């Protein structure tokens, strides 16, 4: 904003200086020109001093005319041989003529002096404009100093931001390392949870085989499914699980191997159940919550 204000001020000053220069270089208006002569006289009327000189010049012209008129009868009475009187009479004629010629010359010169007041006004205007431009120059100098201080402050801010960016860059690297470590921890926690859930399901299978037949049939399958549903964080497709148990013939060894395969192939996300290749998968839902709920009962080798 300050820079645009300075530019506008400089443009205004340049335009004003150019206009004054054009006015000075153009000179006084010429008589007979479209914009000079009568228009200039109307714009600058005669003052009291010029009117006094005009009246005096007209009076002088009248006096000289009367003097010549009175001298003519006297010259008629002077004889041709009276040389001194004739010379005196001719001298009166000459002085009267010169006086009559001087009167309009004085009026013309006074008119020119009146017109020259326009140049005085222009010069005064130039002086005033010079003073105003000097003040504007001082203001611009002060604003330039302010802008320089702003530039220095912005340079300091830039350096601070650059240092902050470098610091944040190092912090970003640390954050990426923490994310990688967190992912490794989550993967390890998921593996622990999967092993714990598989251990509980296998223990449930062994507990259900009460008669020691090493076979799970009919109601034992129902009890196994009910027990697995009661486990926190374990989800599976009941119908497909029942079909897979029927296909393996209910043998405990095959059921345990099948359950291990179901846990190994279970990669579905939270709340999602998926069967791959015609086999049911057992998924661990919300492993973080499952870990918190069963933290007290977990043992680690």
Q: CB neighbours (10 Å) of residue 29?
A: 19
Q: Are residues 145 and 248 in the same domain?
A: no
Specify if 202 maps to a domain: no
- If residue 247 lies in a helix (H) or strand (E), which one and from where to where? helix 238-247
Adjacent-strand bridge partners of 183: none
Both structure tokens of 51: 């009117």
Specify if 248 maps to a domain: yes
pLDDT for res 294: 57
Q: Are residues 127 and 214 in the same domain?
A: no
Q: Are residues 248 and 115 in the same domain?
A: no
Q: Which of 160, 175, 191 is the last residue of a domain?
A: 160
Specify if 184 maps to a domain: no
Q: What is the domain extent for residue 258?
A: 209-293
pLDDT for res 20: 52
Q: Are residues 67 and 131 in the same domain?
A: yes
Both structure tokens of 156: 């300091």
- If residue 54 lies in a helix (H) or strand (E), which one and from where to where? helix 48-77
Of the candidates 133, 114, 284, the one whose C-alpha atom is nearest the C-alpha of residue 197 is 284
Q: Are residues 104 and 252 in the same domain?
A: no
Residue 138, CB-side half-sphere exposure with 13 Å CA sphere: 5
Both structure tokens of 173: 């690297």
In whole angstroms, what is the distance from residue 80 CA to residue 20 CA? 67
Compute the C-alpha angle 155/159/160, nearest 5°: 115
Specify if 189 maps to a domain: no
pLDDT for res 141: 84
Q: What's the full length of the chain, in residues?
A: 301
R_g over Cα of the chain: 60
Both structure tokens of 25: 């270089």
Q: Are residues 6 and 111 in the same domain?
A: yes
Q: Which of 135, 160, 185 is the last residue of a domain?
A: 160
Q: pTM value?
A: 0.39
pLDDT for res 8: 55
In whole angstroms, what is the distance from residue 184 CA to residue 178 CA? 10
Residue 146, CB-side half-sphere exposure with 13 Å CA sphere: 10
Q: Are residues 156 and 257 in the same domain?
A: no
Residue 7, helix vs strand vs coil: helix
Q: Which of 125, 144, 160 is the last residue of a domain?
A: 160
CB burial of residue 219 (10 Å; 0-12, 13-18, 19+): exposed
Specify if 114 maps to a domain: yes
Q: Are residues 143 and 284 in the same domain?
A: no
Q: Are residues 218 and 145 in the same domain?
A: no
pLDDT for res 91: 77
In whole angstroms, what is the distance from residue 139 CA to residue 132 CA? 11
Specify if 72 maps to a domain: yes
Q: Which positions of the chain have pLDDT values less than 50?
A: 2-3, 28-43, 268-278, 300-301
pLDDT for res 84: 74
Total count of domains within the chain: 2
Q: What percent of the chain is predicted at pLDDT more than 70?
A: 59
pLDDT for res 29: 47
Specify if 191 maps to a domain: no
Q: Are residues 9 and 150 in the same domain?
A: yes
pLDDT for res 25: 55
Q: Are residues 137 and 264 in the same domain?
A: no
Q: Are residues 94 and 19 in the same domain?
A: yes
In whole angstroms, what is the distance from residue 276 CA to residue 54 CA? 125
Specify if 182 maps to a domain: no
In whole angstroms, what is the distance from residue 235 CA to residue 229 CA? 7
Residue 274, helix vs strand vs coil: coil
């Amino acid at each position: 904003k300050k820079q645009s204000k300075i530019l506008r001020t400089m443009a205004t000053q340049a335009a004003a200086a150019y206009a004054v220069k054009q006015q000075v270089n153009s000179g006084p208006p010429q008589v007979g020109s479209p914009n000079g002569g009568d228009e200039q006289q109307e714009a600058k009327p005669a003052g009291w001093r010029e009117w006094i000189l005009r009246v005096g010049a007209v009076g002088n012209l009248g006096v000289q005319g009367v003097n010549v008129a009175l001298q003519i009868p006297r010259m008629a009475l002077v004889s041709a041989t009276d040389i001194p009187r004739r010379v005196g009479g001719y001298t009166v004629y000459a002085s009267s003529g010169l006086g009559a010629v001087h009167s309009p010359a004085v009026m013309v010169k006074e008119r020119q002096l009146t017109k020259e007041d326009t140049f005085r006004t222009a010069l005064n205007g130039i002086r005033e404009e010079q003073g105003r431009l000097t003040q504007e120059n001082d203001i611009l100098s002060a604003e330039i100093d302010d802008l320089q201080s702003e530039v220095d402050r912005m340079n300091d801010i830039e350096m601070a931001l650059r240092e902050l960016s470098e610091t944040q860059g190092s912090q970003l690297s640390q954050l990426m390392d923490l994310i990688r470590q967190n992912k490794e921890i989550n993967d390890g926690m998921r593996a622990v949870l999967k092993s714990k859930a598989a251990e509980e399901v296998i223990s449930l299978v062994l507990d259900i085989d009460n008669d020691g037949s090493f076979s799970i049939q009919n109601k034992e399958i129902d009890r196994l499914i009910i027990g697995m549903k009661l486990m926190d964080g374990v989800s599976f497709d009941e119908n497909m699980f029942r079909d897979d148990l029927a296909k393996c013939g209910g043998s405990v060894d095959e059921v345990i191997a099948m359950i291990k395969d179901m846990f190994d192939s279970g990669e579905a996300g939270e709340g999602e159940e998926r069967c791959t290749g015609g086999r049911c998968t057992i998924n661990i839902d919300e492993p973080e919550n499952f870990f918190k709920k069963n933290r007290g009962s977990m043992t680690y080798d």
